[in-house]
Amino acid sequence: MKLIKAFWTKLKSPSKAALGIVLFMGFAGGLMFWGAFNMGMEATNTEEFCSGCHAPIVAEIQETIHYSNRSGVRAICSDCHVPHEWTDKIVRKVQASKELVFHFMGTIDTPEKFQERRAHLAEREWARLKANDSLECRNCHQFEYMDFSEQGSRSAKLHSTALANGEKTCVDCHKGIAHKLPDMHGVEGWQ
Ligand code: HEC
Ligand code: HEC
Ligand code: HEC
Ligand code: HEC
């Protein structure tokens, strides 16, 4: 009883040192939490992370200009794709039903299943980029700084017309720049 009382008075009137310790612990804890959170955010932005589920795509991209070019500037997955909110999706689907989780986990887990679903996924990505006027492309490629005299005549013509007047956005004309195209049968405007 005496001990508890002594402890209580100590708590009620903490010495400056104790207060300092408490504050320091709070500060360090906050710092650690912030660090872990950022590490998590960064880890989910790496190609290794994406390759866990999208290995075929990671292999394909190495043949494209966004992987290797004369300027040595690389675009990685997350530069073009806001990492899809898969954690949200998983959480939502766990809440909905367990079968759905398995379905979700298995939708593209074999090359055959991926090929079958690829057109659908590509369409979703085109729709997203169309809706935001190809925001992720424009993070690196800015129309205002395009030097038409340096571009091929076909590029310069289309960029100074359909792109300039806002009729079309990058992904309307540039499909399959980073990946193999899915089977395009039945895709609107494609022949
Ligand atoms: C845990 C596995 C997993 C990881 C890790 C993962 N994905 Fe996915 N991703 C999927 C699945 C499964 C689908 C297909 C969903 C479906 O079938 O509807 C998908 C679909 C996509 C699509 C198609 C468009 C869409 O909204 O569905 C894009 C783009 C994509 N992922 C990009 C990425 C990028 C970029 C990363 C890394 C930042 C990443 N993914 C990491 C499992 C994953
Ligand atoms: C992280 C920056 C970055 C992002 C994001 C990006 N690009 Fe690029 N892009 C580049 C670089 C760097 C090159 C190569 C430039 C060079 O050296 O010629 C390039 C080249 C290109 C080319 C030229 C192809 C060729 O064969 O000459 C096209 C077309 C292109 N990008 C379209 C796009 C589109 C469409 C998007 C959005 C879906 C996009 N880019 C997103 C950096 C980026
Ligand atoms: C109306 C169609 C159209 C739109 C919209 C469009 N492009 Fe292009 N772009 C082309 C064509 C066609 C080429 C030439 C491709 C070829 O010759 O292989 C081209 C070429 C390019 C090149 C290579 C330039 C060269 O001549 O070396 C880059 C980089 C590029 N586009 C980026 C973009 C970006 C980024 C956007 C969006 C801000 C965009 N384009 C919007 C049609 C378009
Ligand atoms: C330069 C921009 C760019 C980069 C870099 C990029 N993507 Fe994509 N991605 C796109 C576009 C645009 C589409 C829409 C389909 C198309 O045009 O090929 C797409 C489509 C997809 C799809 C849907 C299925 C398909 O094949 O169309 C998946 C999954 C995907 N990307 C994952 C990735 C992963 C994983 C990486 C990193 C290895 C990556 N992307 C890097 C621009 C990019």
Q: Which token pair is 74?
A: 């690389």
* 178 — pLDDT class (breaks 50, 70, 90): very high
Contact 129, 137 (CB under 8 A): yes
Q: Which token pair is 17?
A: 């040192």
Q: Say if residue 97's pLDDT is above 60.
A: no
Please tell me the predicted confidence (pLDDT) of residue 137.
95
State which of 15-24, 47-56, 172-181, 182-191 shows the largest mean pLDDT. 172-181
> Which of the pair, 149 or 184, is modelled with greater confidence?
149
How many angstroms does the Cα of residue 152 sit away from the middle of ligand 2? 15
Q: Is the CB of 84 under 6 A from ligand 1?
A: yes
Please tell me the predicted confidence (pLDDT) of residue 71.
93
Ramachandran quadrant class, 14 (left: phi over 0; alpha: psi -120 to 50; beta: rest): beta
For the chain, what's the residue count? 191
Contact 171, 137 (CB under 8 A): yes
The CA R_g of the chain, rounded to the nearest whole Å, is 26
CA-nearest residue, atom 3 of ligand 3: 173
- Map tokens 């002594």 to a residue: 6
Distance (Å, whole) CA 58 – CA 168: 28
Distance (Å, whole) CA 31 – CA 52: 29
Other CB atoms within a 10 A radius of the CB of residue 90 amount to: 14
State which of 49-53, 87-91, 109-113, 175-179 shows the largest mean pLDDT. 175-179
Please tell me the predicted confidence (pLDDT) of residue 171.
96
Q: Is the CB of 70 under 6 A from ligand 2?
A: yes
How many angstroms does the Cα of residue 23 sit away from the middle of ligand 4? 46
Range with the poorest average pLDDT among 19-23, 122-126, 155-159: 19-23
Q: Ligand 3 atom closest to Cα of 162?
A: 1
* 125 — pLDDT class (breaks 50, 70, 90): very high
Distance (Å, whole) CA 153 – CA 149: 8
How many angstroms does the Cα of residue 7 sit away from the middle of ligand 3? 73
Q: Which token pair is 33?
A: 């939490």
Distance (Å, whole) CA 40 – CA 86: 13
Please tell me the predicted confidence (pLDDT) of residue 12.
63
What does the mean pLDDT of the chain come to?
A: 80
- Map tokens 């795509």 to a residue: 57
Across residues 44-53, what is the average pLDDT?
Answer: 79
Q: Which token pair is 123?
A: 């369409």
Q: Say if residue 44's pLDDT is above 70.
A: no
Distance (Å, whole) CA 3 – CA 7: 6
Please tell me the predicted confidence (pLDDT) of residue 85.
63
> Which of the pair, 10 or 60, is modelled with greater confidence?
60
> Which of the pair, 147 or 21, is modelled with greater confidence?
147
Please tell me the predicted confidence (pLDDT) of residue 37.
58
Q: What is the pLDDT of residues 131-147, one digit of tens each?
A: 999 999 999 999 999 99
- Map tokens 């005496």 to a residue: 2
